[in-house]
Amino acid sequence: MKTKICEICSIAADTMFRVQIASGKNWIFVCQSCCEKSKSLTQYKYGGTWKGKRH
Ligand SMILES: [Zn+2]
């Protein structure tokens, strides 16, 4: 199982959300809870879900 580190809170998780939280900035991977919080930002864009678990 692979994990990524959330770029906002630095927690490791096996399901990450690719989001943009500022205009013109790079895409970042964030955990579910940071993704939920980011949804209120006006520049929020969702770019997909990354899963480290193999099915
Ligand atoms: Zn986070």
Interval 15-51: pLDDT, tens = 999 999 998 879 999 999 999 999 999 999 999 999 9
- CA 46 / ligand 1 centre spacing (Å): 15
| CB distance 50 to 28 below 8 Å | no
- CA 55 / ligand 1 centre spacing (Å): 24
End-to-end CA, the chain: 10
pLDDT at 55 exceeding the cut of 70: no
- CA 54 / ligand 1 centre spacing (Å): 22
Domain around 13? 4-51
Write down the pLDDT at residue 53. Answer: 84
- CA 44 / ligand 1 centre spacing (Å): 15
Q: If DSSP codes are grouped into helix, strand and coil, which group holds residue 36?
A: helix
Total of domains in the chain? 1
